[in-house]
Structure 1
Amino acid sequence: MTRTIIENAHVVTVDERGTEYPDGHVVVADGRIVSVGPGRADQALRTDAEVVDGRGCLVTPGLINTHHHLYQWLTRGYAQDSILFDWLTALYPLWSRIDADLTGTAAAGAMAVLARSGCTTVGDHHYVFPRGGGDIVGSIVDAASTVGVRLHATRGSMDLGASQGGLPPDSAVETTVAALAASQEAVERYHDPSPDAMVRIAIAPCSPFSVTADLLREAGVLARSLDVRLHTHASETVEEDAYCAEHFGRTPTQYLEDLGWLGDDVWMAHGVHLDEPAIARYAATGTGVAHCPSSNARLAAGIAPVRALLDAGVPVGLGVDGAASNESGQLGVEIREAVLMARLRTGSESMSARDALRIATMGGARVLGRHHEIGSLEPGKLADIAVWQVDRVEHAGILDPVAALGLGALPPLKRLYVGGRTVVSDATLVTADETRLARAVAAASVSLAERL
């Protein structure tokens, strides 16, 4: 049995009681947490163990990213001053030329940066599948294996092209039948329902303005027959609200509920423009929300009503969103952004650093349906752990280590563990060569641009 002990650290468990140990320890054996508590670990656990001195460190659960578009790592910096619909229109022609090789390279680069920012579980929403593009979902799965993070990949889709009143060009969409068949194939090929799964698959038609009602309805039926989760974009912008009012005579929430798209097996990206009735329906049905504060700001979409969602009992997690609308690609910085945005919307007491850390960990685990396995530091849970160095010049003297993470600059990682395996050590990715990844991403970005 392999055993790792992290001790002499400020341990934030994010359990139901919000337990913290200012001088605590965490013990890991065979990929799971076996002990968390104050002081040093029991002597009986120390035999043949690797001991990590956490002096000057904050230990938290690994962060959980509930919404991303990894392929967009190759298209950062485009349409810098555009709102969502204009930004999408500018980028669809480029995205419609991707393939499995390019996507795999983008995903590896994006997940390396996510890991270095404390992320242990990556939720990806991929919805562009050009004809002849190869096994794109498989390329994302392979990239996650290389970097060493858990993956919640979604097999997305679009079947509503511009000629039918949708936003994407016809060249970027699939037929409804093809999208459903490919979604089922992805689940059957890659989804692992086991408690310690490294890869799970959800079904995720893209948005009300790029997907037909038939695809949304049938995707819901398919996902539930396969016992997997559902994901889409919803209530992101005022333009989306206007689109739904014009085309369906409904709000996005009313439209999606009519199609069977509210439930505790569903999570929506953004939820910026949810009104009180919509929040009540999300709460009543257990529908989750992926909150993406930096991307919402980049695209001027607005500030999500996160405090109201939490007060209503809606599961809320954090997301980076598309790397082309959040060029940082770091999940750790979204903790601070969530605090600041919530306070801008509803005042200084609406979000604390600890609230935002909970959203980034247990909140994300709830959204993905894995709160019994990840999201907190408790015996029996998977050993997905971030060890943040908070005693260097950027953070030295900050009164509270959690404030160092949630209000200060993003701290470097002393260690990042996924299932007890070291993925980051002393701020460096150890599972793959960062320099080689960077070169591959730069070359792939040029290659994609030349295809246009």
Structure 2
Amino acid sequence: MRMPSDDHDLLVRDCQLLVVDGATEIPGGWIALRDGRVAAVGGPDTAPPSAARTVSAAGRLVTPGLVNTHHHIYQNLTRSFGPAVNGTLFDWLTALYPLWSALDAEAVHLSTYIGIAELVMGGCTTSADHLYVHPRPRLVDAQIRTAQEIGFRFHATRGSMTRSVEDGGLPPRCVTQTDDEVLADSERVVTAYHDPSPGALIRVALAPCSPFSVTRELMVETAELAERLDVRLHTHLAEDGDEDTFCQETHGCRPVEYFASVGWMSDRTWVAHCIRPDGPERARLAAAGVGVAHCPSSNMLIGGGTAAVREMRELGMPVGIGCDGSASTDHASLWMETRGALLLARYRGGPAAMNARDALDMATRGSARCLGRADELGHLRPGACGDLVVWDTHEVALAGSFTDPVEAWLRCGPSRAWTTIVAGRVLVDQGEPQLPALEEKLREHARVARRIQRLK
């Protein structure tokens, strides 16, 4: 008689260590997936079920898929752009805005395809993306269709800028829109693509770029629209000293106070960076349930400081990991960002400030909380989404490490995804992305990137 266990779609077995969540780790574990969900987990004392496909972890560490809470994928078209790399945040932005004005649907499609390939190679199974430059219509549509084509779990955020240089902002007029244009298209994108159902691959959030790039009216009306449509809110907040100065001069208050005054102090909100709030401001954000996307590499490369992550976590704030823009961080590896979070926390607060499990928890459960999906992402308990990573670290790098696979994962390195599985589908196999059009897309990406950078 055929047993019910034969119905599993995929089995990952022979794990050196299976990290189910922050409380459960199974040496020698296995995990079975069915219909894109975790069906069962077990250890060496339990016989694993049969499945249509079996993946051998071959003594490797297996974790929940990493969740990226903040990114600007389109920026991989202008990586390491010479005139922008060594300035302040505002210097960097003003150098790149004119280039980004050349974005079109082809550029967004290609950058998203390559960006997702890079993300899955770095162990990311869910990513939010903040597309806030809209020189042409329906660019978010191109992103979402690309993620659907690949089968990647994607939280698109409909970003916006309405304050151009002429209005006292930073960007040129050609990459901004009016408040009415932004609000109308925000509702259109949510209606067309947002999937609130459990296990959804595509969700949409609303995301004015920052307090200094949109009007007060747009911040207020976007918060009201998000409430009406029941979607999440995202923006940059308190990233830079220049932002403090701008808010004081324009609004007569600090960024967090302004953020509260426009109706964004809510548990449907997560913000990027959040470097400059003081203790009482952090406590206020925590009490409201606001989440933070911590972006270590971007913080260090731009040199504007870093979030008080330990203090935020102690307050109970949802704190996740973000790789930030491909033109500020210049990579999209969540493994590198998770390691960066570990190192930066210990540099800032000493060896007791963070360990590898804390960093992994931020990149999985903390990030899932930021996206409002702690019930089904960031862990591998039965019923969770079938998103997981089998990690590969070269045996030379691991030589001498025997006692703790999780610490070795971040401390030894570099590590890469050997197998990345999203909703039960294998998107990276033996270290290689399973995207059949990748070679062609890379060629086309190079062509478009050279055009945008105004190279021959």
TM-score normalised by length of structure 1: 0.96
Residue equivalent to 2:451? 447
Distance 2:46 2:414 in 1: 28
Which portions of structure 1, spanning 4 or more consecutive aligned residues, are displaced by more than 3 angstroms?
A: 10-14, 40-43
Describe the shift of the 1:305–1:36 C-alpha distance in structure 2 as closer, same or farther (beyond 3 A): same
Q: 2:44 aligns with which of 32, 39, 46?
A: 39
> 1:56 corresponds to which letter in structure 2?
G
Residue equivalent to 2:129? 124
- What's the secondary structure of 2:415's corresponding residue? coil
- What's the secondary structure of 1:233's corresponding residue? strand
Residue equivalent to 1:406? 410
Greater mean alpha carbon deviation, residues 215-224 or residues 294-303: 294-303
Residue equivalent to 1:51? 54
Residue equivalent to 1:112? 117
**Deviation of residue 12 (structure 1)?**
4.1
Contact 1:147 1:432 in 2 (8 A): no
Residue equivalent to 1:10? 16
Q: 1:307 aligns with which of 307, 310, 319?
A: 310
Residue equivalent to 2:3? none
Matched, 1:210 2:216: no
**Deviation of residue 147 (structure 1)?**
3.0
Describe the shift of the 1:14–1:165 C-alpha distance in structure 2 as closer, same or farther (beyond 3 A): farther
Distance 2:437 2:400 in 1: 34
1:180-216 CA deviation, whole Å, 9 max, x = no partner?
1011111011111111111000000000110110000
Describe the shift of the 1:451–1:139 C-alpha distance in structure 2 as closer, same or farther (beyond 3 A): farther
Number of equivalences: 447
Describe the shift of the 1:14–1:240 C-alpha distance in structure 2 as closer, same or farther (beyond 3 A): farther
% identical equivalent positions: 44
Matched, 1:182 2:188: no
1:284-299 superposed matches below 5 A:
284-299=287-302
Residue equivalent to 1:435? 439
Matched, 1:83 2:88: yes
Contact 1:417 1:424 in 2 (8 A): yes
**Deviation of residue 373 (structure 1)?**
1.1
**Deviation of residue 41 (structure 1)?**
4.8
- For structure 2, the residue ranges without an aligned partner over 5 or more in a row are 1-6
**Deviation of residue 148 (structure 1)?**
2.6
**Deviation of residue 220 (structure 1)?**
0.3
Residue equivalent to 2:104? 99
- What's the secondary structure of 2:272's corresponding residue? strand
**Deviation of residue 391 (structure 1)?**
5.6
Distance 2:45 2:248 in 1: 60
**Deviation of residue 2 (structure 1)?**
4.2
1:133-212 superposed matches below 5 A:
133-212=136-215
- What's the secondary structure of 1:33's corresponding residue? strand
Distance 1:40 1:134 in 2: 57
- For structure 1, the residue ranges without an aligned partner over 5 or more in a row are none
Residue equivalent to 2:265? 262
**Deviation of residue 247 (structure 1)?**
1.3
> 2:122 corresponds to which letter in structure 1?
S
Contact 2:8 2:32 in 1 (8 A): no
- What's the secondary structure of 2:436's corresponding residue? coil
RMSD of the TM alignment (CA)? 1.6
Matched, 1:328 2:331: yes
Distance 2:129 2:93 in 1: 18
**Deviation of residue 239 (structure 1)?**
1.2
Distance 1:127 1:149 in 2: 21
